[in-house]
Structure 1
Amino acid sequence: MARTKSTLRDLAELILKNVEVVEADLAKRNASGPDINETFVPGADINFGNPEVSEAIYLTTCAAQQLLQTIRPPQACLIQEVSRHVVPPSLRCATELHVAEILSEAGPEGLHVKSIASKCGVDPLKLAPVLRCLTTRWIFKEVRPDVFANNRLSSVLHKGQTSEALQQNPEKKYDLPKAGICTTIGNVTDMGCKSSAYLYETLSDPDFAFSNEPNRASFNKGFNTNKTLWEFYEDPAQSARLHRFNTGMQALQRMQPVEQLRDSFDWVGLRDDALVVDVGGGIGSVPLALVKLIPKLKFVVQDMPLVVEDAQKRWKDEELVKTGRISFQAHDFFEAQPIQHPDVFFLQNILHDWSDKFCLQILSRLREAAGPETRLFVRDRVIPYTCLTSDEDNGEKIPGVLKPTLPKPLTAVGGGDPFAFTLGLGLMVLANGGERTLNHTIELYRDAGWKVETVHQFDALGRAISGITAVPI
């Protein structure tokens, strides 16, 4: 009797099929395949910018993760999941102690943990288990007993400075663009992990569980404060954390191609000298990049007074600021909007920081100031459900929305790349914010007097920021 092919084999074959796509692209470019034991050189192996390759990588990781969770005993899977709680703090130790830089200076032969610890000023008996925790996640490698070296993953933790320079000037450790990944690791492993440890306590506390207030989040329990996250950052005692956060946000912005912003809204269709109000626009980096691509636009960038003051100093010699193409205005987006009937109200990475209650206030203020022809353009993630959906499940049909697909036997949308989902939960933990599904987004905007007309998505998983265009109702 012929044996029925198992789900395990289906998953293994799906992995192999998509690895072949990646290898075919490598062969076409005459590039070598990635090696976990070698340091990472951008552009030297996999072409991550190729959409076909990117999809193959996603399906490979999704199938690999499902295979791991299927082939092991369920109890072992769950224990493995909860045991990961030591991985983020171990990664933070490695970045704060500059282990990648120390090992880079030691070369491919590596360095004994006693020597690493001596340079870090820590106990080698305590550093060794930290590094071994990471090597079991393929971050660093143990080349001989107690001797560690960099590999593909750990090499990207290098901040672009020598270990000596980093130790002598710790306040400058994030100054170079190469340190961008370390700012994100620092933000997540410090603020995120300490806050998320209190997630259950927050969900089960009657004073917190049903609150929309930004100072009733897990963060408030984790850091024992009644301040919002943003008020906490403004405390002078938190200047190092604020610097790390701002540097991390700038690094993330650099990773988002300005072409995506250009292509996700009909900027070209606007009139000459169209007025765009960038609400909560920070120091104006996004408008500066966009106006260089579409010179006919005029931007007013609004933010809190200290941010505006910083922006005006930073860009005082910028020609676009001198000519008035870009200007700055102090404004609290919860207050009445001072600019009436602009062509566009623009928000980027704002609404996901706030609960529905406060998003409704922000959007309602803009609706009050909108003219009949004003359009609202919001850049935020639109996340899918983790199951496949029907047209009925998706509710209102909006042009530009991408529908996730899953080849059999995959079962979880985002299972191989849960970034958008973990980010959304992280925002809830920190400030009661979060990423939203399409149905949630449509309903929220409608309640504030806006009708979502189009959603420009670059991927169906919400990994990239979507462009949401709405008009007054």
Structure 2
Amino acid sequence: MAIENGHSNGHANGHANGNGAATPIDESIAVKANAVDKVPQLLEEIAKQGKYLTQDGAQNRRQLLESVRSLSYALETPREAMIRYCWSQPTIFAAIELGVNLGLFKVLSKDDKPKTAVELAEATGAEPVFLSRILKHLGAMGAIYEVGPDTYQPTNFAKTLTIQKYGDAFPCMTDCINSGVLAFPQWVKKNGYQAPTDGKNTAMQLGFHTDLHFFEFLATNPEFPVRFMNHMSAYHQGRPSWMDPGFYPVQERLAAGLDTSAPLLVDVGGSTGHDLQEFRRKHPEVQGKFVLQDLPEVIAKAKVLVSPDIEAMEHDFFKEQPIKGARAYYMHSILHDWPDNKCKEILTNLAQAMKPGYSKVLINENVIPDMDADWQTTSLDLIMMTVFASQERTERQWHALVESAGLKIVNIFTAEKGVESLIECELA
């Protein structure tokens, strides 16, 4: 097959027309703006949204940010996009992780005074010429401010990286996620381009050269689970909670008609109890018994952290639920860790413990819309597929999964795009 301009001719550099022949793609599109015709409208939207930024608060800020991203994508050429994906994203990740490990951001963020590369090298113990190259890239990518030749100041992002739960995100991803994601194209090619269905046979095992499930792999190094939990904690910061006013009608759906002989809320797989403590803080008027359930090693830590009126109980959610007839069995980001067959086991165990006409299952997870999904949710979906053989689910997929366990979805409460919903279920 002949090679022309770096491409094989035929289908490799074109698409099929109505006759089955390839229509060549004009390579000049690679150096033209992706959608220059959309720029005027986007500029109008940005100007309008910018006027109301301080009035409308967080929601308007997110809409403005989406419009700015759309403008950037419209102005960017395909060649620039290719280089951004291939060059800048892996290298800025590496530069940030290096900075976290070196303590660079802590030194830079001691105050807002400009600091030279030489000063930063002296304070961190790094070789000056080496560090200046790293700083140059961090500045070029907006992670820090370049305010003069080899002179830098911290951005708010750089300052935030000095807080451990935020800084831990980068070594966490390197520890147990990124190699699996990078191995994913190889894994699916080998497996016929089908999604994995077994948590012990995913790209994660291929990328990290292990036979262990993700959670087993975390246990091989004491730093891994700490960084992972810190990263998850940081991920949830600043996002609307179902316990906030106007999200889920707590009084109407939980407190009303409460039978005090059984627990109000059982947090299944609830880690060290942060969700239960948040609920009690935000709804002190709702009285009832609270139960936290997780594996023994987690509960041992939780007993030190949670208030004494929260019962911390060892429980494996793949086994029979020991608490019968609770008002609500609650799970936060549990089912997205498991493929459908495992989720059915978890939900069935809950269904068998429920009191008909009274008990609920509350699932706090993402519901992917049919269109205009948020990039955070689609990113997480690919990570879950790569690492757990699981997924973030659409509304149709949630209905099918819940119904397979003898339950039905009564309501899905959603605050805004890209935020976990609360899926309220009852016995079918």
Q: Shorter-chain-normalised TM-score: which range?
A: 0.7 to 0.9
- Does 2:68 correspond to 1:15? no
**Alignment correspondent of 1:307:** 298
**Alignment correspondent of 2:141:** 137
Q: Does the 8 Å CA contact 1:142/1:148 hold for their aligned counterparts?
A: yes
Distance change in 2, residues 1:278/1:16 (3 Å): same
**Deviation by residue 1:135-163 (Cα, 9 ceiling, x = unmatched):** 1221112222222221233222233xxxx
Q: Does the 8 Å CA contact 2:242/2:421 hold for their aligned counterparts?
A: no
Helix, strand or coil at the partner of 1:16 = helix
Distance change in 2, residues 1:203/1:330 (3 Å): same
Q: Residues of 2 paired with 1:106 and 1:291: CA distance? A: 38
- Does 2:265 correspond to 1:281? no
Which residues in structure 2 correspond to 1:78-227 (within 5 Å)? 78-83=82-87, 84-105=89-110, 107-111=112-116, 113-159=117-163, 179-206=164-191, 209-227=194-212
Distance change in 2, residues 1:333/1:220 (3 Å): same
**Deviation by residue 1:388-442 (Cα, 9 ceiling, x = unmatched):** xxxxxxxxxxxxxxxxxxxxxxxxx25xx52122122222222223211111111
Q: Residues of 1 paired with 2:365 and 2:305: CA distance? A: 26
Q: How far did 1:451 drift?
A: 0.6
**Alignment correspondent of 1:464:** 419
Q: How far did 1:464 drift?
A: 2.0
Q: TM-score, normalising length from structure 1?
A: 0.74
Q: Residues of 2 paired with 1:191 and 1:344: CA distance? A: 33
Q: How far did 1:215 drift?
A: 1.9
Q: Residues of 2 paired with 1:155 and 1:254: CA distance? A: 16
**Deviation by residue 1:223-263 (Cα, 9 ceiling, x = unmatched):** 1111111111222xx10122222233344556456663674
Q: Does the 8 Å CA contact 2:362/2:424 hold for their aligned counterparts?
A: yes
Helix, strand or coil at the partner of 1:96 = helix
Q: Residues of 2 paired with 1:67 and 1:240: CA distance? A: 40
Q: Which amino acid aligns with 1:91?
A: I
- 5+ residue gaps, structure 1: 26-51, 160-178, 321-325, 388-412
**Alignment correspondent of 2:231:** 248
Helix, strand or coil at the partner of 2:156 = coil
Distance change in 2, residues 1:207/1:14 (3 Å): closer
Q: Residues of 2 paired with 1:270 and 1:287: CA distance? A: 20
**Alignment correspondent of 1:229:** 214
Q: Residues of 2 paired with 1:419 and 1:210: CA distance? A: 20
Distance change in 2, residues 1:6/1:307 (3 Å): closer
Which residues in structure 2 correspond to 1:411-450 (within 5 Å)? 413-414=372-373, 418-450=375-407
**Alignment correspondent of 1:402:** none
Q: How far did 1:192 drift?
A: 2.7
Q: Residues of 1 paired with 2:70 and 2:298: CA distance? A: 45
**Deviation by residue 1:263-295 (Cα, 9 ceiling, x = unmatched):** 425222241424232211122222233235244
Helix, strand or coil at the partner of 2:312 = strand
Q: Residues of 2 paired with 1:257 and 1:297: CA distance? A: 24
Larger RCO, structure (CA 8 Å, separation 6 or more): 1
Q: Does the 8 Å CA contact 1:88/1:189 hold for their aligned counterparts?
A: no
- Does 2:69 correspond to 1:69? no
- Does 2:255 correspond to 1:268? yes
Q: Residues of 1 paired with 2:233 and 2:183: CA distance? A: 28
Q: Residues of 1 paired with 2:58 and 2:393: CA distance? A: 24
**Deviation by residue 1:24-73 (Cα, 9 ceiling, x = unmatched):** x3xxxxxxxxxxxxxxxxxxxxxxxxxx3333323322222222222232
Q: Does the 8 Å CA contact 2:368/2:394 hold for their aligned counterparts?
A: yes
- Does 2:212 correspond to 1:239? no
Name the count of aligned residue pairs.
383
Q: Residues of 2 paired with 1:296 and 1:157: CA distance? A: 39
- Does 2:412 correspond to 1:381? no
In terms of mean alpha carbon deviation, does 287-296 or 136-145 score higher? 287-296
Aligned identity (percent) is 22
- 5+ residue gaps, structure 2: 1-35
RMSD: 2.5
Distance change in 2, residues 1:382/1:149 (3 Å): same
**Alignment correspondent of 1:356:** 340
- Does 2:353 correspond to 1:369? yes
Q: TM-score, normalising length from structure 2?
A: 0.82
Q: How far did 1:343 drift?
A: 2.3
Q: Residues of 2 paired with 1:261 and 1:467: CA distance? A: 12
